[in-house]
Amino acid sequence: MSIQYGEPDMAGSYGVADSFPKDFGYGGDEAGIDDDSSASADTQPRILLMGLRRSGKSSIQKVVFHKMSPNETLFLESTNKIHKDDLSGSSFVNFQIWDFPGQVDFFDPTFDDEMIFTGTGALIFVIDAQDDYVEALGRLHGTVSRAYRVNPHINFEVFIHKVDGLSDDHKMETQRDVYQRANDDLADVGLEKLHLSFYLTSIYDHSIFEAFSKVVQKLLPQLPTLENLLNIFISHSGIEKAFLFDMVSKIYIATDSSAVDMQSYELCCDMIDVVIDISCIYGPIEDGGAYDKESLAIIKLNNTTVLYLKEVTRFLAVVCVLREESFERKGLIDYNFHCFRKAVHEVFEVGCRTPRNGGRPDDSLTSSTSTTSSSSTTRALNHRNYASHNGSMM
Amino acid sequence: MEKMSRVSTALGGGGGGAVSGRTMFCHLDAPANAISVCRDASQVVVAGRNIFKIYALEDDQFVEKLNLRVGRKPSLNFSCADVMWHQMEENLLATAATNGAVVTWNLGKPSRNKQDQLFTEHKRTVNKVCFHPSEVHMLLSGSQDGFMKCFDLRKKESVSTFSGQSESVRDVQFSMKEYFTFAASFENGNVQLWDIRRPDRYERMFTAHNGPVFCCDWHPDDRGWLATGGRDKMVKVWDMSTTRAKEIHCVQTIASVARVKWRPERKWHLATCSMMVDHNIYVWDVRRPFIPFATFEEHKDVTTGIAWRHQHDPYFLLSGSKDSTLYQHMFKDASRPVDKANPEGLCFGLFGDLAFAAKESLISSEANRKPYPGGDRRYPIFFFKKPDLTEQFAHVSSALSVFETGLESGRMDWFSRTARRYLLCGKPFAELCDHNAKVAKELNRPQVSTTWTMVRIMFSDPANPNLSAKLGTLPLMNSFSMKDMGACPDMGACPDMGACPAERGKEGRSDAAHLEPGTSHISNNDDNEETEGSDGQAEYMFGDAELDDDDLYSVEHDNPAEDQEYTLPQEAFPLRHEILDNPSAPEPLQQDKAESPHVSGGEAEATCLTPIESCSLISATQPLYSAHLPAGFFCPVVRDMLRYYAEQGDVQMAVSVLIVLGERIRKEIDDLTQEHWYTSYIDLLQRFELWNVSNEVIKLSTCGAISCLNQTSTTLHVNCSNCKRPMSNRGWVCDRCHQCASVCAVCHHVVKGLFVWCQGCSHGGHLEHMMHWLKSSPHCPAGCGHLCEYT
């Protein structure tokens, strides 16, 4: 329990708003992350985006991480060199997105697969579903088997992309077909253990964000802890659904364990847009950023639903969907959120202090760290007595 | 096993009589997440994040039996995501906790805390626990962390772990019939089949849904059917008995499907509830996937758990909801959407085809009784649905008939042909009307044709006896039958015309009643004096009409000179004389007459009037009215008629009549309406590429806004023929080269009028001069040596 670390920060964060150093959102934990990332940019886990040319890799990257409107992606030039996009400065997703040009040749001797695949956490292979994907499958097979030989810990994710143009039946058929062929190819060369995950995505709806969320969540050793925290938070506050959002990319890095309904997710995404836009217009100019410590938004919809957004860390915010009658106990929610926020900070603090070993998020060391942190925060939460519905804290 | 079968047979024999009850509910303290029924259908357990209680099911109420959530400070292990009551061992319960714990409970324990075993092997929320249907100690769990674990309750930890390859597990279900098999559904849309003995790899996997699969349920009979429900709002039924999972039924619901449960003893029925938005519970017949067989609408919030009360009784459904209620639904109290659904459907195709679906019984009787009205061809196609065997779901066969309309009626041929053939100017008014009436008649539009005839009669100049005698005798006679004022009240009641004709008839009559002959006389004189050179005639006319009102034809014969007068002003304006004419029927009568061929069924008396009858009427009525009718008498009627046509979509008729009638009617209609009609008609004409007609209409229009249309988009550039520069001012002299620009090559004078020039050498001159010159010589008159050609 990092009282000595957390408490002053919390006090600062809750008391005086303007006393923050500009460079770092808040105290030592964030600074630690930043230092770490800048020092070891090459060793932190990477997400690689690969696929045939014109399959939509750059579009995905631009839409998800650079807020490009999907329609504008039509005018993107084709990528002809590896585009390294380091998001550690702006987004919680502490990974690098390497956007590969479609025509990269792995058999080129200058192609250093050791270097590339060693630090890679996830490899996203993009297949254009509207095109003939036989060639793409061949490339997928080559890429994946090669990467697997170098680094078997990579998560292999296949985005069956541009499905917005397909009918529902056709989508399923395509997914089934791609799945079947890809796995048959792998089985032929004895790589049954290699697991491919498939997602149907499109940049014209939220499916790409959801798929990316899943990809990022898999690389996140703290995920179970965060999920438990959210579970506890919402069950004690009468909240229906809560997401922990990365504000920049609108991907959710954790949610409570109830099923994600696309509508609520889209609603929350839209809310983030609204909040960012409004604070861009009316926010204080000197801070520059549209999202800061004070960010808090409540939107009441006319169907007795309330959306509640509050800052958690410099990159993260909790967005909750709840009913109006639950929102009557706003003090309770605020208090519980306060506890939750503290716990999240502790979780990432622990994560910071343990030495990172790049590219292997499922490594025993990291996961054990996360479990300890989990149990400790859970204990902390129990200690601090989440005020519950009928609790006495009110 | 023996015990169970005994119970079931007892119940099955009773046919549901063993368990009695009614629709009832009780309030829970907190939202429920899941419910489960004990084997003998006497108790139900409700679990949620803040609740874990057992209720006894009595005849008319729920009675709380036991609160399992004990202790001063409940641990997170009590926060249940799922609960299952063992179907073999009635004291055994299992719950799945949101913190990843799997807990078993033994109700036989003497202490207050009934917790039996605690497995904390899952790292994330456990979404589902499932007991083996026939094995007492075997428990299966599926978790968010992607693993399924099989527990032997005699051991402290799991006996085997199945990895779904890092996708979250949403549901696990042991197969009813195959001892070792279980199905698991995943958030990425896959469904996997596992053999409990082989934890290393799934037996089979297929993609079932687009998006997460939230639930699955094996069919209680041994068909190897698996129902799955997902976020894509579908419920799918898979046949797992073949080597490749085959989708055999698919039900589309309106919200993502959270739970699905087969209905006991009903082969095709299953119950679903949704995850968001929709609070109802639906029971579907999978063979009829478009409408729920039954709906339970009691819950105020999302239903989270459903269970059939007894596994052999299809009439009791229990459900728990987020609105903190626990319900028992009786099947007889369910609402049946099919009763409220409209069994008829009607739809128009792109080309005017009409599809009509109705209950088979309905349509077959109807088809015999009444053929498609006006339809020359009829192609009914019949689709029969398979009849439903269960008596509860009504016989659902329906028939679909498709009526293809004749090609002509769908097309707009009549429009372009009418537009081309109509004469709008260039002839005397009566001739125009007659011509147009003829055109309309030939194009099989009797109503329009009659309208033209009527217009002619109303406004025509009595000086054209020949024409009216020649062309319009019969129509005239017909229309005379209408002018019978006695028929007017009847017309008001005519069903097809509705309110409009009534109004028109009224207006016409009231006009006639109010206008004194003297005043109308004066006003008409004034009008006529303004028109050029026709004062005398008009006065004479008027007087004539007054004098000879008993004989229409004599009036017409008396004015032979009028003919000449009317041909003159045709180009600039249509006829301007407002001449009192013989009174004729108010317009609606005409329309009724015209429409009557279309409309089957009872009509007003007007249609019964034969020409002969009406002839007799003429003599009786005409003298009474014709004398007192001023020139503007028909204008309101005609105005309403035009409006009627425009509203009917036949703006062509409105505009054509407007043009042909010209001044007679123009003042009656406000400019904006006229302009609107004109623009619509011109737009239509241009869409049909009838440029000439549209141009004529523009030219003939009296609206300023319309007639300037031709000027706006036409630009004329004039260049000097000597220096080839644009001519700046309007003179005949080019200000650059100071020469006359358009000089006739023959006479060397400036051409002020038609200038014709050779396109080869660009020399030219007066038309006649050039014609003359080129008749005599093939060479250019300017002497350039070009061999000009005049065609």
Express each pLDDT in B187-201 by its tens digit: 888 899 999 988 888
Q: Do A176 and B207 touch (CB under 8 A)?
A: yes
User: Measured between beta carbons, which residues in chain A are less than 8 angstroms from residue B209?
Assistant: 172
The answer to whether the CB atoms of B165 and A195 lie below 8 A apart is yes
For residue B123, the chain A residues in CB contact (below 8 A) are 224, 371
Q: What is the mean pLDDT of residues B481-490?
A: 40
Residue of chain A minimizing CA distance to B121: A371
| Rounded Cα distance, B718 and A229, in Å | 84
| Residue B370 clears pLDDT 80, i.e. is over it | no
Residue A97 has pLDDT above 70, yes or no: no
Q: Which residues contact B64 (CB under 8 A, 6 or more apart)?
A: B26, B53, B54, B55, B56
Percentage above 70 pLDDT, chain B: 66
Q: Residue B770 pLDDT more than 90?
A: no
Residues in chain B within 8 Å Cβ distance of A223: 124
Section A83-105 average pLDDT: 65
Look at A259 and B258 and tell me if their CB atoms are within 8 Å.
yes
Across residues A106-115, what is the average pLDDT? Answer: 65
pLDDT band at A194 (very low <50, low <70, confident <90, very high): confident
Mutate to test the interface with B, among A210, A227, A233 (most CBs of B within 10 A): A227
Q: Is B214 on the interface with A (CB under 8 A)?
A: yes
The pLDDT value recorded for residue B260 is 93
| Contact yes or no for A176 and B206 at CB 8 A | yes
Mean pLDDT of B633-659: 84
DSSP SS3 for A215:
helix
**pLDDT confidence of residue A243:** 93
Which A-chain residues 343-382 have CB contacts (< 8 A) with chain B? 371, 378
Q: Which of A134-148, A204-218, B387-401, B558-572 bottoms out in mean pLDDT, i.e. has the lowest?
A: B558-572
Q: Which residue, among A231, A241, A379, A389, would best test binding to B if mutated, counting the most B CBs under 10 Å from its CB?
A: A231
- What's the pLDDT tens digit per position in A198-240? 898 998 888 899 898 888 888 888 888 888 889 888 888 888 8
Chain A residues 154-213 with CB within 8 Å of chain B: 155, 168, 171-172, 175-176, 179, 192, 195, 197-200
Q: Does the pLDDT of residue A394 top 80, yes or no?
A: no
Which of B125, B165, B258 lies closest to A227 in CB terms? B125
Best mutation target, A257, A301, A367, to test chain B (most B CBs within 10 A): A257
B231 touches chain A (CB under 8 A): yes
Indicate if the pLDDT at residue B147 is higher than 80.
Answer: yes
pLDDT at res. B713: 64
Considering CB atoms only, which of B76, B79, B276 is closest to A263?
B276
Query: For the stretch B137-155, what's the b/e string if a residue is b when 16 or more beta carbons lie within 10 angstroms of its beta carbon?
Result: bbbbbbbbbbbbbbbebee
Q: Are the Cβ atoms of B207 and A179 closer than 8 angstroms? A: yes
Cα-Cα-Cα-Cα torsion B474, B476, B481, B483, nearest 10 degrees, comes to 170
What separation in angstroms does the CA of A53 have from each of A46, A133, A385, B108, B593? 21, 12, 54, 66, 71
Are A261 and B170 an interchain contact pair (Cβ–Cβ within 8 Å)?
A: no
Q: What is the pLDDT of residue B390?
A: 45
Tell if the CB–CB gap between A231 and B79 is shorter than 8 Å: yes
**Confidence label for B667 from pLDDT (cuts 50, 70 and 90):** confident
Q: Would you place residue B469 in the very low, low, confident or very high pLDDT band (cuts 50, 70, 90)? A: very low
Q: Which residues of A touch B34 (CB under 8 A)?
A: none
| Lowest pLDDT segment from A77-91, A97-111, A115-129, A225-239 | A97-111
The answer, yes or no, to whether residue B304 has pLDDT greater than 80, is yes
Taking CB atoms and an 8 Å cutoff, what residues of chain A touch B275?
259, 261
Show residues of chain A in contact with B125, CB under 8 Å: 227-228, 231, 257
Query: Residue B473 pLDDT > 50, yes or no?
Result: no
Tell whether the model's pLDDT for residue B228 goes beyond 90.
yes
Q: Residue B504 above 80 pLDDT?
A: no
In this prediction, residue B631 carries a pLDDT of 63
- Strand ranges across the sheet with B257-262: B257-262, B269-274, B281-285, B294-296
Dist. CA B97–CA B48, nearest whole Å: 9
Under 8 Å CB pairs connecting chains A and B tally to 80
CB B765 within 8 A of CB B755: yes
ipTM above 0.90, yes or no: no
Cβ neighbours of A228 in B, within 8 Å: 98-100, 124-125
- pLDDT single digits (tens) A154-181: 889 999 998 888 888 888 888 888 888 8
Q: Is B252 on the interface with A (CB under 8 A)?
A: no
Confidence check: pLDDT of B272 > 90? yes
Q: Nearest Cα to A232, choosing from A382, A88, A8?
A: A382
- Nearest-Å Rg of the Cα atoms of chain A is 22
- Tell me if B191 sits within 8 A of B228, measured CB to CB: yes
- pLDDT tens, residue by residue, A291-342: 777 788 899 988 888 999 998 888 889 999 988 888 888 889 999 999 999 9
Which ranges of B626-747 would DSSP assign to H, the alpha helix? Answer: 635-648, 651-661, 663-666, 671-687, 691-700, 704-707, 709-712
Q: Name the more confident of A384 and B283.
A: B283
Which residues in chain A have their CB less than 8 angstroms from residue B50's CB?
235, 388-389
Average pLDDT of the residues in B696-702: 82
Alpha-carbon span B98 to B31, nearest angstrom: 15
* Tokens encoding B199: 């934890």
Tell me the average pLDDT of chain B: 72
List the single residue in B123, B187, B276 with the smallest CB-CB distance to A261.
Answer: B276
Which member of A227, A262, A389 has the closest CB to residue B124? Answer: A227
Instruction: Say yes or no to pLDDT of B61 above 70.
Output: yes
Chain B: give the shortest CA distance to residue A196, in Å. Answer: 9
Task: Check residues B400 and B371 and name the one with the higher pLDDT.
Answer: B400
In A214-243, the residues whose Cβ lies within 8 Å of chain B are 214, 218, 223-224, 227-228, 231-232, 235
Cβ separation of A261 and B231 shorter than 8 Å?
A: yes
- Residues of chain A with Cβ-Cβ distance to B232 below 8 Å are 168
Interchain CB contact of A259 with B (< 8 Å): yes
Q: Using alpha carbons only, what angle is made at residue B236 by residues B230 and B237, rounded to the nearest 5 degrees?
A: 140
Chain B residue whose CA is closest to A170: B210
Percent of chain A at pLDDT > 70 equals 68
**Chain B residues close to A175, C-beta within 8 Å:** 189, 207, 210
pLDDT of residue B35: 92
Write down the pTM of the prediction: 0.61
**Residue B297: pLDDT over 70:** yes
Question: Which of B278, B279, B285, B280 is closest to B314 using CA atoms?
Answer: B285
- The band of B594, judged by pLDDT with boundaries at 50, 70 and 90, is very low
Of B125, B127, B206, which is closest to A231 when you measure between CB atoms? B125
Residue contact A231–B99, C-beta within 8 A: yes
Q: Which two tokens stand for residue B60?
A: 């008319």
Q: How confident is the model at residue A111 (pLDDT cuts 50, 70, 90)?
A: low
Determine the pLDDT at residue A289: 64
Q: How far is CA A324 from CA A32, A236, A319, B31, B391, in A?
A: 39, 16, 15, 16, 45
Q: How far off is chain A from B393, nearest CA to CA, in Å?
A: 29
Any idea which residue has 């008159």 for tokens? B781
Chain B residues with CB under 8 Å of A155 CB are 166
Q: Which among A175, A195, A257 is the nearest to B207, CB-wise?
A: A175
Contacts of A199 in chain B (CB under 8 A): 188
For B77, the closest chain A residue by CA position comes to: A232
* Pairwise CA distance, residues A219 & B99, whole Å: 20
pLDDT at B612 over 50: no
**Mean pLDDT across the stretch B231-258?**
88
Residue in A172, A218, A228 nearest the CB of B207: A172
Is the Cβ of B771 closer than 8 Å to some Cβ of chain A?
no
β-bridge pairing A120-128 and A155-161: parallel
Q: How far is A354 from chain B (nearest CA, A)?
A: 20
pLDDT at B686 over 70: yes
Verify whether the Cβ–Cβ distance B79 to A235 is below 8 Å.
yes
Q: Residue B567: pLDDT above 50?
A: no
DSSP run (H or E) holding A144: helix A134-150
